[in-house]
Amino acid sequence: MPRFDAVLFDLDGVLADTAHIHFAAWRRLAEELGIHLEPAFEEKLKGVDRMGSLELILAHGGPEGSVTRTAEEKRVLAERKNGYYTAAIAEQTPDDLLPGARRVLEEVRAAGLKIALASASRNAPPLLQQLGIAPLIDAIADPAAVKAPKPAPDLFLEAARLVGAVPERCLGIEDSVAGIISIKDAGMVAVGIGDPTVLTRADYVVPTTEQFHIGDFL
């Protein structure tokens, strides 16, 4: 009997080559605010939702950056970043999938497992359509419908619920530290995509999506 009933995928940095596009958009906004983001800051923003990312950036700019701005001013800033991001992904096509992404989804389906998306991104549904992989995905967990964002386990638990799988029989795949914490705190098995010295809580780490084979886990 296979160990898993479902595989829960993150999107940005796992299926779509968009993690660096999110960071470029944040960096542009930060520069406009006079805040310099060094390349290492990207890791801290991965998996973190829109408002959470803005708070981290404002705090990086100085202790008053967050408290002196109203909720409305922050909403406008986050919206500005989202405009940069959506403009940058507007022309994405199936050619922009990360190498191996489509093959991985097809292999998981062929193995008879359910597939759910657990992405913090509000842009995930249209992006899945653009990338041509929406038909391969059984359910999308809505980040607006859960109580707490990653690193809380809520979004992964919701993804599991949507496909009728118990957490112990779910495999979660993530490129972010926040996401790996979510998966582990949800009681699932975590596969990290990236660097094992960064994704230290993952049960397994592969360098890129291309190196992931569901057969290794069944």
Report how far apart, in Å, the C-alpha atoms of 145 and of each of 50, 142, 151 are: 15, 5, 15
Nearer to ligand BG6, 150 or 184 (CB): 150
> Exactly one of 6, 7, 9, 12 binds ligand BG6 (CB under 6 A); which one?
12
> Exactly one of 43, 49, 154, 158 binds ligand BG6 (CB under 6 A); which one?
49
Q: Tell me the residue type at 129.
A: Q
CB of 9 to Mg ion, least distance (A): 9
Could you say whether residue 49 binds Mg ion (CB under 5 A)?
Answer: no
Catalytic: 5? no
> Exactly one of 37, 48, 97, 140 binds ligand BG6 (CB under 6 A); which one?
48
> Exactly one of 43, 49, 158, 175 binds Mg ion (CB under 5 A); which one?
175
Nearer to Mg ion, 17 or 175 (CB): 175
- The Cα–Cα gap between 23 and 84 comes to 11
Burial classification of residue 73, based on how many CB atoms lie within 10 Å of its CB (0-12 exposed, 13-18 middle, 19 or more buried): exposed
Residue 115: partners with Cβ closer than 8 Å, 6 or more residues away = 6, 7, 8, 9, 105, 108, 109, 136, 137, 138, 139, 163
Q: Per the annotation, where are the binding residues?
A: 10-12, 26, 45-50, 53, 81, 119-123, 150, 174-175
The footprint of ligand BG6 (CB under 6 A) covers: 11-12, 19, 22, 45-50, 53, 82, 119-123, 176
